[in-house]
Structure 1
Amino acid sequence: MAITELFSAADVILDADPANKPALLDRLAAEAASRSGRPAPEILDALLAREKIGSTALGKGVALPHTELADLAEPVVLFARLQRAVDFDARDDEPVDLVFLALWPASNRKGLLTAMSEICRALRDPQSVRRLRGAATPDDAARIVLQAVARDPEDPDLVKDQDDPPPGL
């Protein structure tokens, strides 16, 4: 299942204000619980277990916490922009202010890898990251993400700061 089928403005949290990484993961687990019907502590435990393997910070102020859960009916993808960046144990030592959460059914591991690839592609473009940091509304943030996912990074005619949504949005 592609991000374009999963992600909308309803999945955007702007100006969250967690004090630290554990508080951020707790907030994301609570949001994911409300969408998935799974208990927030179960989601949080899975996220914390994944972080023990290694930080999911990608660098340059961005993180992609992700985990798989057995018996999860549908994937959950959330985006949070923080009021203040928090330490996320990033390799580049930069604190994180943009966070995507991917919570995935364990039975569809390939789907998680595809979703993470799409999110990473969207975040590869510095203009998209800059625009996400300045998005005024959840609708704006969702449009920026979906535009960036839909772009072909190999296209030489790519317009990086396009304000029009892609066809069909």
Structure 2
Amino acid sequence: MRITDLLAAEDVVLDLNAGNKRSLLKILAAQGASRLGRTEAEVHAALLAREQLGSTALGRGVALPHTRLDGDSRPALLFARLHRPIDFEARDDEPVDLVFTLLWPEASPEGFLPALAELCRALRNPQVLQRLRQARDAETVVTLLQQGTAPGTP
């Protein structure tokens, strides 16, 4: 399964208001829970537990909170562009404004690392990041991610 199979326009939130990392994770947990038929508390606890291991900020204003959830539900990917950047404890000390959240079923571990790697490859491209920051609508975000993860894309 390609990462772009997981992201549709309804999974994109542009100009999200979140005051800090904890409130952002709560908002993302609520969205992920509704898409997966899970409780918000369950998803939020899993995201917080992963963040306690170390920040999922990648640098350059990007974070990739991710976790594996008990059971065999389908995977989910969410994208949020923040109205104002927030501190995410990034190694480069840059505040985060682009957030991809990956929720993966524990029962299907084989696709988890390839999905993370595919997304990280796309996010290394400064042009992709710039275009995500300038995107005017959710459909544009999905298209940018499809282009950024296409085979042969540097």
Compute the TM-score of the two structures, normalised by the length of structure 2: 0.97
Q: Give the count of matched residue pairs.
A: 154
Following TM superposition, by how much is the alpha carbon of 1:5 offset from its aligned partner in structure 2, in angstroms? 1.6
Give the 5 Å matches for 1:36-47: 36-47=36-47
Following TM superposition, by how much is the alpha carbon of 1:72 offset from its aligned partner in structure 2, in angstroms? 4.0
Q: Quick one: distance in 1 between partners of 2:87 and 2:97?
A: 9
Q: Quick one: distance in 1 between partners of 2:73 and 2:42?
A: 15
Q: Percent identity?
A: 53
Matched to 1:59, the amino acid is G
Following TM superposition, by how much is the alpha carbon of 1:151 offset from its aligned partner in structure 2, in angstroms? 4.3
Q: For structure 2, which runs of at least 5 residues remain unmatched after alignment?
A: none
Q: For structure 1, which runs of at least 5 residues remain unmatched after alignment?
A: 155-169
The residue that corresponds to 1:35 in the other structure is 35
Matched to 1:101, the amino acid is T
Post-superposition, which runs of at least 4 consecutive aligned residues in structure 1 deviate over 4 A? none
The residue that corresponds to 1:128 in the other structure is 128
Matched, 1:71 2:60: no
RMSD of Structure 2 on Structure 1 (CA)? 1.0
Q: Is the contact made by 2:4 and 2:142 (CA closer than 8 Å) also made in structure 1?
A: no
Matched, 1:13 2:13: yes
Secondary structure in 2 matching 1:110: helix
Following TM superposition, by how much is the alpha carbon of 1:110 offset from its aligned partner in structure 2, in angstroms? 2.4
The residue that corresponds to 2:96 in the other structure is 96
Is the radius of gyration larger for structure 1 or structure 2? 1
Matched, 1:147 2:147: yes
